[in-house]
Structure 1
Amino acid sequence: MSGSFKRVCVFCGSMPGARPSYAESARELGRVVAQRGLGLVYGGGAVGLMGIAADAALQAGAEVIGVIPHGLLKREVGHGGGVAMHVVDTMHERKAMMAELSDGFIVLPGGFGTLEEAVEALTWAQLGIQAKGVVFLDIDGFWQPFLRTLDFMQEEGFVRPGQRPLAMQATTVEEALDKLAAFRPPPEVQPWLRPDQA
């Protein structure tokens, strides 16, 4: 693993989802992150896929950092033992800190919040605010409808062909981490804004 790739941020649901494979993948992600000597950055909750990934990473000996707003701390049952917890004021601060603390993003199945976090990370990459990869871990085809939507956006002229590859996909945890470690922004992506202008 590259010396510059030290922590991975995971975006994922605060619920476990309908299929056991979602929880299994979250658990595997936590284990493999630890096996590779990486740290895990996540939304700070103890519930759903968030809690499963964090628990697995902790149990395997990884550094785990949680970032959660005050308002969600009780609702999402902020994780306790072993997690280095950062409590912030707003959702925007949460996303900005998660991005600052990590070197790439893996997107597990989730709902509105997961999708919003992932799309913002893609937008920041598109604008050159950050040069970190975003990989959708496509468990049982979960992300296929969304990825097809991105293809349609490109076909309709709203996403440039050179920028569409920013939304990477993988079907295994190992593949997702390999893609993040190897990620380099496409040459078509030019910085439009500085990080402090996000």
Structure 2
Amino acid sequence: MRREAPSAQRNRQPILDVLKHHLPAAGLVLEIASGTGEHVVHFAATAPYLTFQPSDPDDGARASIDGWVETLRLPNVRPAVALDVTSSIWPVDHASAILCSNMIHIAPWEATVGLMAGAGRILPTGGLLFLYGPYRRGGRHTAPSNEAFDLDLRRRNPAWGVRDLEAVADLAAAQGFDPPVTTEMPANNLTLAFKRA
């Protein structure tokens, strides 16, 4: 039932070390594409003053998320919901923050467009959109390993790929977000923290 991802176990604490400086003092935190659930339970365990709503379009992923929550007995994590970012209707109509790790590059560009549109709909002024993953900067990969990863992704699905940070920031700006606070992370990843203007 519960799934484990070695990469999630490696990166959840470095992500949290940055995320904790941006999280709101109260409210609902929606996680998009929660995957195994290892991120959301790690974050929720350290922020009992927040309520976390995990989501994933995959049935197996949602079962894994709920399995982790049940095992760790976290009262501040809601049952996982199915959420398609490209839909104009989400199962959550308001949140104080949205978290999304490692989705943008393993999905068609339309998913990023949908993520930004949804964030624009449900986040209030001052709301947080927090992204994690690999990005190109100035049209260039930040490391040879990211370039190889990008080629592998595009071989697997031509609609996937490491995205340009500037293109993602432009989409966010069109939805009323300020430029992101960008933090360099291990393994040539970045966190992008957008605030709703």
For Structure 1 versus Structure 2, the TM-score category normalised by the shorter chain is 0.3 to 0.5
TM-score normalised per structure 1: 0.48
Q: Which has the higher helix share?
A: 1
